[in-house]
């Protein structure tokens, strides 16, 4: 979940080929921007045929968003 309720939220997923994104039309490696005043959800999933997936996530915004993103890394594996 990207919380942009207090300002613009931005996130980028990169350095992977098999990460799946639901809830956005953005491509991997592109900055995904959410306007201020909104709460948005992006679902990510491992699209590889088998095995674990590593990827880079970068964001700007609240600390809560970052903590949730780190927690989701462990849930995907």
* pLDDT tens digits along 50-71: 988 888 888 875 444 454 555 4
What's the pLDDT band for 40 if we cut at 50, 70, 90? confident
What's residue 69's pLDDT?
Answer: 52
- For residues 41 and 1, give the distance between their C-alpha atoms in angstroms, rounded to a whole number: 4
Running DSSP on this structure, what letter comes out for residue 49?
A: S
Give per-residue pLDDT as tens, 13-30: 998 888 999 888 989 999
Among the listed residues 55, 62, 54, 9, the one whose alpha carbon sits nearest the alpha carbon of residue 31: 9
- pLDDT higher than 80, residue 5: no
- For residues 14 and 55, give the distance between their C-alpha atoms in angstroms, rounded to a whole number: 6
- For residues 52 and 30, give the distance between their C-alpha atoms in angstroms, rounded to a whole number: 22
């Amino acid at each position: 979940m990207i919380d942009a309720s207090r300002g613009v939220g931005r996130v980028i997923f990169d350095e992977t080929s098999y990460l799946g994104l639901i809830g956005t039309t953005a491509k991997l490696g592109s900055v995904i921007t959410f306007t201020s005043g909104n709460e948005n959800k992006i679902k990510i999933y491992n699209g590889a045929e088998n095995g674990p997936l590593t990827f880079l996530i970068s964001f700007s915004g609240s600390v809560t968003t970052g903590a949730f993103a780190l927690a989701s890394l462990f849930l995907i594996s």
